Amino acid sequence: MLAKKAEQLARALHRDQVDKAGKPYVGHLQAVVNNLHNPTDEMIAVAWLHDSVEDTSITLNHIASEFGQVISDAVEAISKRSGENYQDYLCRVKQSPIARWVKIADLTHNADLTRLVQITEKDIARRNKYLMAMDFLLAED
């Protein structure tokens, strides 16, 4: 129920956006959903909404009112804050089980260079950063 509602909202919010490969951005969101292992309804909802606060005008308050505090808290955890150090961000993501698994699914898709027409050194560096982030998020404390 939450997942379908989140999908509908995400498709509306990101309808005019494209990804790094120039493809409709909702394809990235669908890929993140598809990359989830043993997903719960909450995980799927967060996967659909994971970039909404960073990339659209929607607020965490709106997400909380529509989807509840659990979803809002996970979206907040996965949303990078302005000026935030990347390692601090990953530590914050790792503290939220839902955000952690959604971020791993997100990084898996972002690290897939086969979706790009031309691969640059910048793309390779970004992929390496994502792979290190995945290792960190997968590691047990």
How much of the chain, in percent, has pLDDT values that exceed 90?
91
What is the model's pLDDT at position 134? 98
* Domain covering 2-138 assigned CATH 1.10.3210.10 in the classification: yes
Using one digit for the tens of pLDDT, what is the confidence trace for 42-85? 999 999 999 999 999 999 999 999 999 999 999 999 999 999 99
End-to-end CA distance of the chain: 33
Q: Give the global pTM.
A: 0.94
pLDDT band at 2 (very low <50, low <70, confident <90, very high): very high
Q: Where are the domains of the chain?
A: 2-138
